[in-house]
Amino acid sequence: MKFDKYIKNLLYRYDCVVLPNLGAFVARNVSAKIDESNNIITPPSKLISFNAKIKENDGLLANHIAIVENISREKAGKKIHKKILFYNRSLNNGGLVKFKDVGSLSLKNDKYIFNPSDKINFLSNSFGLSELSTSKVDKSSANKNYKFNTYYKYAAILIIALFIGSNIITNYLNDINASNQISYRQAEKEIEDKIQKATFVIDNPLPIIKLHLNKKYGDFHIVAGSFRVKENSYSKLEQLKSVGYKDARKIGQNNFDLYQVSYASYNTRAEAKNALSNIRSEHNINAWLLYKNVN
């Protein structure tokens, strides 16, 4: 299985590629840079890092492998599981795991150390662009070569504009959207805090009525998959129901805004663990147990 190639291809299109039960490669856009000491202009790029805290399977890698190799997603998941076991064994034994054109990963003192490769620029907008060397201006002959230097100056400005122009608008819009989201959340929290701290005086309070409602679903869920695209979660839900999992349902989004689908939900951990064991042996080795109140 061309595992490294699959990861590399996904990093061109996505900013996060998860290796279930290991971690995730996270891409961050970096603007063009000017090295004045060496007279070099570096085009915009994607900086690749490794985050060991993001281990939850989002289905992206399995779906890609299933499409490329024309196999089922369950079979692709088993291939990934086998590969991750190999990586973990190698890392725990002090080995170095290399991902071609992406970087290398090692484990020291329970901390992951990732060294990114500088061979490839994963930013599609910079495809075909490389570092540009410029000549240093001789100040002693500035008057003599004024016209030439002026031309060179504007040429350099034009090149830089081509490199970073497309990113300026995108980053600006993203900053506005992020700012709006933060302002909205802060306002919402302030309103909620004021409501919770408010004191209400009622002269003739009504008698307390206690209602005992039975929850429709339990809080222990067997997760079948997590998806970035909402439509994919619907497809997974239909697939589970078609093979006999009638209690399958969507259980909302997690902290990474991924849409989660469960085989079923249970009231106790014991029931859920028993069901998980059966599902892993009969249907999906990558299924896992989640405690979450979604009623």
Q: What is the mean pLDDT of each run of 10 residues along the chain (295 residues)?
A: 86 89 88 67 80 88 90 92 94 93 91 88 56 57 53 61 55 52 57 50 54 69 90 90 92 87 93 92 88 80
Domain ranges of the chain: 3-120, 220-291
Residue 19's pLDDT is 94
Q: What pLDDT does 195 receive?
A: 46
Gap between the Cα atoms of 169 and 109, Å rounded: 42
User: Parallel, antiparallel, or unpaired for β 220-227 and 45-51?
Assistant: unpaired
pLDDT at 147: 54
Q: What is the pTM of this model?
A: 0.45
How are beta strands 40-42 and 16-19 bridged, if at all?
A: unpaired
Separation between Cα atoms, residue 156 and residue 162, nearest integer Å: 10
Which pLDDT does position 97 carry in this prediction?
93
Half-sphere CA count of 50, side-chain side, radius 13 A: 22
Q: CB–CB of 123/164 below 8 Å?
A: no
What b-and-e string marks burial along 177-198, b requiring 16 or more CB atoms within 10 Å of the CB? eeeeeeeeeeeeeeeeeeeeee
